[in-house]
Amino acid sequence: MKHFIDPLDLTLDEYDLLFRLADNIIESPVDFLDRAKGKLLASLFFEPSTRTRLSFEAAMNRLGGRVIGFSDANATSTTKGETLIDTINTVENYSDICAMRHFKEGAASLASKVVSTMPIINAGDGGHLHPTQTLADLITIRRHKGSFEKLNIGFCGDLKFGRTIHSLVRAINRYEDINFTFISPKELKMPDPFKSFLKKYDETESLVDAIPSLDILYMSRVQKERFVSSDEYERLKDFYILDPEKLSLAKDDMMILHPMPRVNEISPLVDKDSRAFYFEQMKMGMYGRMALILYLLELV
């Protein structure tokens, strides 16, 4: 039994398999309508979510399976003091696979050590990792860049708490000749543990200076829910705003990605630009999660 807790839990060969499987699902969805029939996905969201939760549920339903679970932890026995371990042991009695989002770093890893028959998928653990968003990101990049090699990827915004960024950096760093450009205020810099294994990276506070050389710009919101000080959040929330003026400095084929939700960091005027891929990125997330569910359930 395999879990997906960290983006490095899959080898590059396994990622390639998922990419091909996602391609097949996109090209011929009717062939997969009953592939997971009779299987149950437990959707356990201890933290708010729109895209991740709905895409997991859509993925399982489109595969012919069914979904149980909750989107509000206040409706569960955790409000009575039930531990995460007891919750997971309970859910394993009813489900074949589990997608879990939790506000505590390491929660998904803990859950994976408790179960014996139910694969655990990390749908986001605090400000740590979000490997299924990485899968969506990689599928989107592959479909438009053809490969992951020789890219200059800029990450802009909240790099300190950005679990989607932490995950993608870990995953894509395994490919050849990748340069990372980290664009953030000093208070939200990329944490040292996520830079220590990188071959090439630059750091700057200026989006204007960085954008001309980028092949991909990965924007992110400043995450209000991670801040202790509301004043600090208010000071930093609009530090970067991508608008048509800044975008005029970029390459004609630069990709703009964003894991969503956005607040003010990308102007709606950018949405119609041919370089904006963040809405397609959402859809690729559903296809990637379909492929992942099939793989972990050994239904490929």
What 8-state DSSP symbol labels residue 151?
Answer: -
Active-site entry in 3, 35, 53, 101: 101
Of the candidates 259, 187, 183, which has an alpha carbon nearest to the alpha carbon of residue 220?
Answer: 259
Is residue 115 scored above 90 in pLDDT?
A: yes
- The whole-number average pLDDT for the span 79-92 is 92
Is residue 75 scored above 80 in pLDDT?
A: no
Question: How far apart are alpha carbons 206 and 221 in whole angstroms?
Answer: 16
- The whole-number average pLDDT for the span 59-82 is 90
Question: How far apart are alpha carbons 99 and 45 in whole angstroms?
Answer: 8
Indicate if 272 belongs to the active site: no
Phi-psi region of 186 (alpha: psi -120 to 50; beta: other; left: phi over 0): alpha
Please give the residue that has the higher pLDDT: either 206 or 231. Answer: 206
Please give the residue that has the higher pLDDT: either 127 or 168. Answer: 168
> In the chain, what are the helix, strand and coil shares in percent, each to the nearest 5?
45, 15, 40
Is residue 223 scored above 80 in pLDDT?
A: no
Is residue 78 scored above 90 in pLDDT?
A: no
- The whole-number average pLDDT for the span 252-269 is 94
Active-site entry in 3, 39, 52, 221: 52
- Strand, helix or coil for residue 264: coil
- The whole-number average pLDDT for the span 128-150 is 95
Indicate if 166 belongs to the active site: no
Please give the share of the chain, as a percent, with pLDDT higher than 70: 95
pLDDT at 230: 65
Is residue 206 scored above 70 in pLDDT?
A: yes
Q: How many CB atoms lie within 10 A of CB 224?
A: 13
- The whole-number average pLDDT for the span 165-175 is 94
Indicate if 130 belongs to the active site: yes
pLDDT at 238: 67
Tokens 């296809």 identify what position?
Answer: 287
CB 111 within 8 A of CB 100: yes
- What are the CB-based long-range contacts (under 8 Å, 24+) for 240-243? 240/156, 240/157, 240/183, 240/207, 240/265, 241/265, 241/266, 241/267, 242/156, 242/207, 242/217, 242/266, 242/267, 242/270, 243/267, 243/269, 243/270
Indicate if 20 belongs to the active site: no
User: What are the pLDDT digits (tens) for 131-140?
Assistant: 999 999 999 9
Q: C-alpha angle 151/157/158, rounded to 5°?
A: 115
pLDDT at 77: 83
Active-site entry in 3, 39, 130, 258: 130
Please give the residue that has the higher pLDDT: either 238 or 2. Answer: 2
Indicate if 2 belongs to the active site: no
Go through the domains of the chain in sequence order and give each one's CATH number: 7-130+285-296 (3.40.50.1370), 131-281 (3.40.50.1370)
Can you give the pTM of this predicted structure?
0.92
Is residue 170 scored above 90 in pLDDT?
A: yes
What 8-state DSSP symbol labels residue 241?
Answer: -
Q: Which tokens sit at 61?
A: 């339903």
User: What are the pLDDT digits (tens) for 207-222?
Assistant: 999 999 999 999 998 7
Q: Which residues pair with 120 in a beta bridge?
A: 98
- The whole-number average pLDDT for the span 29-38 is 97
Q: Which tokens sit at 18?
A: 């998922």
Confidence of residue 227 (pLDDT cuts 50, 70, 90): low
pLDDT at 285: 97
* H helix and E strand count, the chain: 10, 9
Taking the CA atoms of 74, 76, 78 and 81 in sequence, report the sign of the dihedral they define.
positive
Is residue 272 scored above 80 in pLDDT?
A: yes
Of the candidates 235, 95, 223, 112, which has an alpha carbon nearest to the alpha carbon of residue 158?
Answer: 223
